[in-house]
Chains A and B, each alone.
Chain A
Amino acid sequence: MLSLARVEVAIAGARILRGVDLAVPAGGRVALVGRNGAGKTTTFRAIMGLLPLVAGSVRFDGTELAGLPAHRRTALGIGYAPEDRRLFPTFTVEENVRLPAEVLGLPAAELRARLERVWELLPELVELRDRRAGALSGGQGKMAALARALVTGTRLLLLDEPFQGLAPALARRYGEILARLVERERSLALLVSESNPELLAPFVDTIATIERGEILSAAG
């Protein structure tokens, strides 16, 4: 479904990704594991089109994404939850979650169905729907960012360091949600990054290790 081939990305002249090869098949659950600064976030941003490729290709369902503007990638069924949440602070949780679906111009019934999917999976957000995102705690913000990614992520979900900064109880809860999601939606592909691979073990089938912008190994 998603394949990166010899992807190279530079930021301010410094080469961050050096020929990354990575594949996430339909229904595949891939962990991207590496230390801070290894290139995990850059990989996600390159997939989303937020950074230009110096070389290589990013293909989704056989279509080359390199020339596709970032804002047109969610329409393919891709959802992205960045490491630092990046919610819009003056919007409520519900406005943050609805916005990607509204921007896509989904029919009302489809929009409703997608939101119901999100609230059902993340019931703890229901009572926070009217709270401004800027007033959320770090953990609540992570949940809201996941909810926002789920609205467009019907085929591929990209989660960048979802457990980072979460208290142990919240991290467990986040893990339960992901485990439930992958069990219910078998065709959903998942690419999730983390420094600590143990947290991802329950719901991934492949672990790819990244180091200094290169994939060192990919093991199932």
Chain B
Amino acid sequence: MGLLFLLAALDGLAYAAQVFLVAVGLTLVFGVLKILNVAHGSLFAIGAYLASTLVGLVGVPWLSLLALAMAALAVGVVLGPVIERGLLARIYEKEHVLQLLVTFALLMILEDVQKLVWGVQPLFEDAPVRLLGQVEVGGIVYTVYQLLLLPGVALLVLVVLAWFLRRTLLGRTIVAVTHDREAAEAIGIDSRRVYLLTFTIGAALAAMGGALAAPTTSLVPGIGVQTIVLSFAVVATAGLGRIEGAAATALLIGLGRSFAVYFTPELEVVVPYLLMVAVLLVRPAGLFGSTELRRV
């Protein structure tokens, strides 16, 4: 029983790290652009497929980790600006329903592009996991990749992102636009540039989530949709736009799902959503969200 508990905890931690990387990009983009980007799941999927392809191409095990990073960066800096400038910039002033439909359409299109490029056969490339080897923890042999690399990268992203947003001028301009776009413009902040930068960061984070997930699972069509639904559950449970909240909630949902896998497997799929419903019934703004009061 003790071993099972430990295994569930380790699995949950690794899973939470993956989910956090995707959810944090989603919540960052929503916080600034006020658009719930359903196509975020496609960026995850394309990041995963591209990472697998690059890892296969480089062939050399010690370069495989670099290949994962390159895949995330490439998706972020190429697809991010193209989507933001080419599509989203045209719908910022439109109704939320339309924005949701447009990003949903983009998800569908990118799903098909992904099938066109990589086909529908499962793709599996675990060189980065093999490269880092295994380690024994409390009697359980576990991969270093999942035990240390995934949680380590997630923690690093959280710390760097929090530092960037609070301590750098560029970060503070992002926070200012998050609070009040018009007031930010009135003090000299170029909100168009902030939108572009934020979306590019969000896209790179989604792709990084995909790239890091790729060596641990078989890539099949539909992983983007699964991911966006789960990420949305994390973001909604935390409170839209809350970065530290997304980390805590990803941990809660990751561990919840993992313990369900080992102890009540029939509930595995629904546990994240049960947690979301339970939280939102009690706190509609999410665990870390707040209803904003406006002083008059």
Question: What residues of chain A have their CB less than 8 Å away from a CB belonging to chain B?
Answer: 48-50, 69-75, 80, 82, 84, 86-91, 95, 99-100, 102-104, 138, 141, 148, 152, 165
Contact = CB atoms under 8 A, between A and B. Distances in A.
Interface of B: 169, 172-173, 175-176, 179-180, 182-191, 294-296
Contact of A86 (B169, B183, B188, B190): B183
Given A71-B185, A88-B180, A103-B188, 20 more contacts: A50-B185, A50-B186, A70-B186, A71-B188, A71-B189, A74-B188, A84-B294, A86-B183, A88-B175, A88-B179, A88-B183, A88-B184, A90-B179, A95-B172, A99-B173, A99-B187, A99-B189, A102-B172, A103-B187, A148-B187
Nearest to A158: B186
Contact of B295 (A69, A74, A103, A141): A141
Contact of A99 (B176, B182, B294, B295): B176
Contacts of A72: 188
B188 to A, nearest CB: 4
A148 B188 CA distance: 12
B21 to A, nearest CB: 24
A69 B190 contact: yes
Given A71-B185, A103-B189, A138 B295 contact: yes
Contacts of A75: 188
A3 B199 CA distance: 38
Given A88-B175, A90-B175, A95-B172, A48 B180 contact: no
B175 A102 contact: no
B230 to A, nearest CB: 28
Contact of B191 (A71, A74, A89): A71
- Most chain A CB atoms below 10 A, which of B172, B187, B294, B295: B187
9 contacts: A48-B186, A69-B190, A71-B184, A71-B185, A74-B186, A95-B172, A99-B172, A99-B173, A100-B188
A70 B180 contact: no
Contacts of A103: 169, 173, 187-189
Contacts of B169: 102-103
A79 to B, nearest CB: 9
Contacts of A138: 295-296
List of 9 A-B pairs having minimum Cβ-Cβ separation, nearest first: A86-B183, A74-B188, A100-B187, A70-B185, A103-B188, A71-B190, A88-B179, A71-B185, A88-B176
A95 B185 CA distance: 16
B169 to A, nearest CB: 5
A186 B179 CA distance: 35
Nearest to B182: A50
Contacts of B176: 88, 91, 99
Contacts of B175: 88, 90-91
Contacts of A70: 185-186
Nearest to B187: A100
Contacts of A48: 185-186
B32 to A, nearest CB: 13
A49 B184 CA distance: 12
A86 B172 contact: no
B187 A152 contact: yes
Contacts of B183: 82, 86-88
A185 B186 CA distance: 23
Nearest to B191: A71
A38 to B, nearest CB: 19
Contacts of A152: 187-188
Contacts of B191: 71
